[in-house]
A and B are shown apart, each in its own frame.
Chain A
């Protein structure tokens, strides 16, 4: 059981990335700049939510202490969530949202591809589906990056501002916590360091087409993996957890 604990923690932290980013994306529902995007963002949010459920479901199954995936999603306090900071940031404008999604989707696709080759057997099952779903996210967001970066003066400015704001948060994707390190040694998950080169290449490739430049980050922003969150996170949780806090034990 104790040997499983680091893996359970890693599964939950990955699930947190997906749940929180999915929640942020879903905030666009009804507010998107055009109808097609009002469909696309909740669709992508749904994929992320499904992936989060897979990860949480697996974690509570290994834990075998009677918790459910809903307990993990709705009944923890802010410090217990271990998502990276980038996913909890307020959406900002559409350029910010598309860029963040692109950064995350490219990383996760590399992650799942590696899982398919070397990882834990159950994760492979999640990966087989997720990697195809992410292919759609990457294409969709990548097209927007180019369209906005190579668009009007205004859209290009906004795209550049998004890169400046978000790029400092990307380093946390590759963070290796002690739990993560144990899982890498047990060959359950890929080593994020080995994904960095391909991630950089994919980002640079699309940035070239979008007339964007990868900034030189002096102060990478980290903290989420150890439960140190941004101010925005408490506000996000108060919405996400509202129903369970107001009506404890509520079920559909």
Chain B
């Protein structure tokens, strides 16, 4: 009983450390905000953190995995990162907190609940992260990173990134 509780405590400490690692391309959000940190558990004194990639070819995957492992090692854990593909990550897993942080950072968060393939083709109202107007237009389906599209606000004229649904 006592041993089990000790492990739980260590696990939650490990989770807190792993969860706080920021995304290298969008540093305003953490791996937990994005929902790509799937689980953290301890097995035979080794912390195993499971992460899932956002896109098949996301170049940040290795950097993120390394950052999480490093953070855990620096906190004194023996740590290993495992990549899990299933179930596939969707933008619907970005937390409410994460969405708010994205908006504050100037990136319009993905429209919620629209990550099914059919609705990828539907019309979405993207809200300008600066002035909150929905009078916006898409400039480019693909943006500065795999996960973003480029938009422009027609009310305040500011260009902005949109974290697109997948």
Chain A residues within CB distance 8 Å of chain B:
35-36, 39-40, 43-51, 53-54, 124-126, 128-133, 135-136, 139-140
Contacts and interface: CB of A to CB of B under 8 A. Distances in A.
Interface in B103-155: 115, 117, 120-121, 139-144, 146, 150
A132 B142 contact: no
Given A129-B89, A133-B55, 6 more contacts: A44-B142, A45-B57, A48-B57, A128-B86, A129-B56, A132-B166
B56 A135 contact: no
Contact of B56 (A36, A40, A54, A136): A54
Contact of B140 (A39, A50, A54, A124): A39
Interface of B: 53, 55-59, 85-89, 115, 117, 120-121, 139-144, 146, 150, 164, 166
Contacts of A51: 56-57
A84 to B, nearest CB: 20
A126 B57 CA distance: 11
5 contacts: A40-B141, A46-B59, A49-B57, A132-B166, A139-B141
For chain A, what secondary structure do more than half of its interface residues adopt (helix, strand, loop), or is it mixed? helix
A35 B150 CA distance: 11
Contact of A130 (B56, B59, B140, B143): B56
**Chain B interface helix/strand/loop/mixed:** loop
Contacts of B115: 132
A45 B142 CA distance: 12
B58 to A, nearest CB: 7
Contacts, number: 80
Given A50-B57, A126-B56, A132-B120, A40 B88 contact: no
A43 B150 contact: no
A39 B142 CA distance: 6
A202 to B, nearest CB: 13
A131 B86 CA distance: 14
B139 A36 contact: yes
The 3 closest A-B pairs by CB, nearest first: A50-B57, A50-B56, A36-B140
Contacts of A44: 142
A129 B55 contact: yes
Contacts of B86: 124-125, 128
Nearest to A36: B140
Contact of A140 (B87, B117, B141, B143): B141
Contacts of A53: 56-57
Contacts of B57: 45-51, 53
Contacts of A130: 56
Given A43-B146, A46-B146, A50-B57, A128 B121 contact: no
Given A125-B85, A126-B85, A136-B141, A47 B120 contact: no
Contact of B121 (A39, A126, A129, A139): A139
Contacts of A50: 53, 55-58
A251 B97 CA distance: 39
A54 B83 CA distance: 12
A130 B56 CA distance: 7
A126 B86 CA distance: 8
A128 B142 contact: no
A35 B115 CA distance: 27
A136 B120 contact: yes
A128 B87 contact: yes
Contact of B117 (A36, A46, A125, A131): A131
Contacts of B140: 35-36, 39-40
